[in-house]
Structure 1
Amino acid sequence: MLNMELDVTQILLATAGLLLTYFLIGWLKDPIRKIPGPPGLPILGNVLHLDTENLHHQFFGFARQYGAVMKIRIFTVPVVIINSKEACLEALTKTGTDFQGRPPLKRLLEIVPKDIVFQNVTEEQVMMRRIFYKAMKAYGPGIGHLENIMQETLRDMVDSIDQKGNQAIDTVNLSVGYVCCVIAAMLFGEKHSYDSEVCRRMNQVNEELVAATDPFTSGGALDAVPFLFQFKFLFRESHKMLNSATKTVNDFINMTLQEVKACHDPNQKRGCVDYFLEVQRQELSEDGATLISDDHLKGLLLDFITAGLETSRRSLSQIFLDLLHDPALQKKLQAEVDSQFEPAHTITLKDREKLPQVESYLLEHFRYLTQIPLMVPHMTIRDTKVAGYKVPANTVVIMNSFYTAHDPDVYDEPFKVKAERFLDENGQLVDRDHPYRENFLGFGAGRRACPGEVLAKSRIFLFLVNILQKYTVELAGELPDRDVRKYPMSILLAPPSVKVRFVRRQ
Structure 2
Amino acid sequence: MEFTSSHLAVLVISVLSYVLYKRWKDPLRKIPGPKGLPLLGNTFSIKPEQMHVQLYDIAKKYGAVTKISLFNTPIVILNSTEACLEALIKKGTDFQGRPPLPRMWIFNPKSLAAAPFEHPDYSSLHRVAVTGLKSYGSGVAELERIMETTVAETIDLLQGKDGQPVDTHELSNGYIGCVMASILFGERYSYDDPICKSIHEMNDRLIQAIDPYSSGAILDIFPFLINFPFLFKYVHENIAKSQDMLNGFIMARINEAKASFETDQKRGCLDYFVEAHRNGVNGTGHKFDDDCIKGLVIDFIAGGMETSLSSISQTFLDLLHDQQLQKRLQAELDSQFEPTQTITMKDKNKLPLLSAYVLENLRYMNATPFLIPHFTLKDTEVAGYQIPANTRVLINAYYIAHNPDIYPEPFEIKPERFLDEDGKVVEAGHPSKHNLLTFGAGRRICPGELLAKSRIFLLLANILHKFDLQPVGELPDRDVRKYKLGILLSPPHVTARFVRRQ
Structure 2 residue 235 is matched with structure 1 residue 238: yes
Deviation sequence 1:471-504 (CA, Å, 0-9, x none): 0111122211000011111231010111111100
Q: Is the 8 A contact 1:280 1:290 kept in 2?
A: no
Deviation sequence 1:246-277 (CA, Å, 0-9, x none): 01100111111122222221221111111111
Q: Distance in 2 between matches of 1:182 and 1:125?
A: 26
Q: What residue number does 2:404 align with?
A: 408
The range that moved more, 106-115 or 147-156, is 147-156
Structure 2 residue 176 is matched with structure 1 residue 208: no
Structure 2 residue 490 is matched with structure 1 residue 478: no
Structure 2 residue 228 is matched with structure 1 residue 224: no
Q: What residue number does 1:297 align with?
A: 293
How far the C-alpha of 1:236 sits from its partner, in A, is: 2.1
Tell me the percent identity.
50
Where 2:77 maps in the other structure, the secondary structure is: strand
| Structure 1, unpaired ranges of 5+ | none
Alpha carbons of structure 1 residues 118 and 217: separation in structure 2 relative to 1, 3 Å: same
Residue number among 130, 140, 160 corresponding to 1:133 in the alignment: 130
How far the C-alpha of 1:141 sits from its partner, in A, is: 9.5
Alignment of 1:150-299 (within 5 A): 150-283=147-280, 291-299=287-295
Q: What residue number does 1:343 align with?
A: 339
Q: Is the 8 A contact 1:477 1:498 kept in 2?
A: no
Q: Distance in 1 between matches of 2:425 and 2:352?
A: 6
Q: Distance in 2 between matches of 1:394 and 1:290?
A: 25
The range that moved more, 235-244 or 75-84, is 235-244
Alpha carbons of structure 1 residues 290 and 174: separation in structure 2 relative to 1, 3 Å: same
Deviation sequence 1:116-137 (CA, Å, 0-9, x none): 1011013311110011001111
How far the C-alpha of 1:142 sits from its partner, in A, is: 5.8
Q: Distance in 2 between matches of 1:231 and 1:260?
A: 37
Q: Which amino acid aligns with 2:310?
A: R
Q: Distance in 2 between matches of 1:300 and 1:132?
A: 7
Q: What residue number does 1:377 align with?
A: 373
Structure 2 residue 321 is matched with structure 1 residue 325: yes
Where 1:232 maps in the other structure, the secondary structure is: coil
Where 2:386 maps in the other structure, the secondary structure is: strand
Q: What residue number does 1:108 align with?
A: 104
Deviation sequence 1:173-217 (CA, Å, 0-9, x none): 111111111111111222100110110001111000011000111
Q: Distance in 1 between matches of 2:393 and 2:403?
A: 20
How far the C-alpha of 1:82 sits from its partner, in A, is: 0.8
Alpha carbons of structure 1 residues 442 and 141: separation in structure 2 relative to 1, 3 Å: farther
Q: Is the 8 A contact 1:140 1:455 kept in 2?
A: no
Q: Is the 8 A contact 2:137 2:267 kept in 1?
A: no
Q: Which amino acid aligns with 1:378?
A: H
Alpha carbons of structure 1 residues 502 and 203: separation in structure 2 relative to 1, 3 Å: same
Where 1:420 maps in the other structure, the secondary structure is: helix
Q: Which amino acid aligns with 1:235?
A: F
Structure 2 residue 483 is matched with structure 1 residue 487: yes
Q: What residue number does 1:450 align with?
A: 446
Q: What residue number does 2:70 align with?
A: 74
Structure 2 residue 434 is matched with structure 1 residue 438: yes
Q: Distance in 2 between matches of 1:402 and 1:286?
A: 37
Q: Distance in 1 between matches of 2:162 and 2:35?
A: 57
Where 1:185 maps in the other structure, the secondary structure is: helix
Q: Distance in 2 between matches of 1:227 and 1:123?
A: 24
Q: Is the 8 A contact 1:222 1:228 kept in 2?
A: yes
Q: Distance in 1 between matches of 2:34 and 2:80?
A: 17
Structure 2 residue 421 is matched with structure 1 residue 425: yes
Q: Is the 8 A contact 1:488 1:494 kept in 2?
A: yes
Where 1:315 maps in the other structure, the secondary structure is: helix
Q: Is the 8 A contact 2:97 2:375 kept in 1?
A: yes
CA RMSD of superposed structures (Å): 1.7
Q: What residue number does 2:499 align with?
A: 503
Q: Which amino acid aligns with 1:106?
A: P
How far the C-alpha of 1:380 sits from its partner, in A, is: 0.4
Alpha carbons of structure 1 residues 294 and 425: separation in structure 2 relative to 1, 3 Å: same
Alpha carbons of structure 1 residues 141 and 448: separation in structure 2 relative to 1, 3 Å: farther
Q: Distance in 1 between matches of 2:406 and 2:140?
A: 37
Q: Which amino acid aligns with 2:427?
A: D
Q: Is the 8 A contact 1:79 1:397 kept in 2?
A: yes
Q: What residue number does 2:141 align with?
A: 144
Where 2:416 maps in the other structure, the secondary structure is: coil
Q: Distance in 1 between matches of 2:53 and 2:495?
A: 27
Where 2:469 maps in the other structure, the secondary structure is: strand
Deviation sequence 1:127-156 (CA, Å, 0-9, x none): 100110011111289633332232221221
Q: Which amino acid aligns with 1:241?
A: N
Q: Which amino acid aligns with 1:19?
A: V
How far the C-alpha of 1:290 sits from its partner, in A, is: 7.7
Q: TM-score, normalised by structure 1?
A: 0.96
Q: Distance in 2 between matches of 1:140 and 1:102?
A: 32
Alpha carbons of structure 1 residues 284 and 161: separation in structure 2 relative to 1, 3 Å: closer
How far the C-alpha of 1:284 sits from its partner, in A, is: 5.9
Where 1:233 maps in the other structure, the secondary structure is: coil
Q: Distance in 2 between matches of 1:416 and 1:125?
A: 39
Where 1:295 maps in the other structure, the secondary structure is: helix
Structure 2 residue 27 is matched with structure 1 residue 28: no
Q: Is the 8 A contact 2:186 2:268 kept in 1?
A: yes
Q: Distance in 1 between matches of 2:258 and 2:267?
A: 12
Q: Distance in 1 between matches of 2:133 and 2:52?
A: 31
Q: TM-score, normalised by structure 2?
A: 0.97
Q: Is the 8 A contact 1:478 1:498 kept in 2?
A: no
Where 2:274 maps in the other structure, the secondary structure is: helix
Q: Is the 8 A contact 2:401 2:436 kept in 1?
A: yes
The range that moved more, 342-351 or 436-445, is 342-351
Deviation sequence 1:221-258 (CA, Å, 0-9, x none): 21011112233233222112111110110011111112
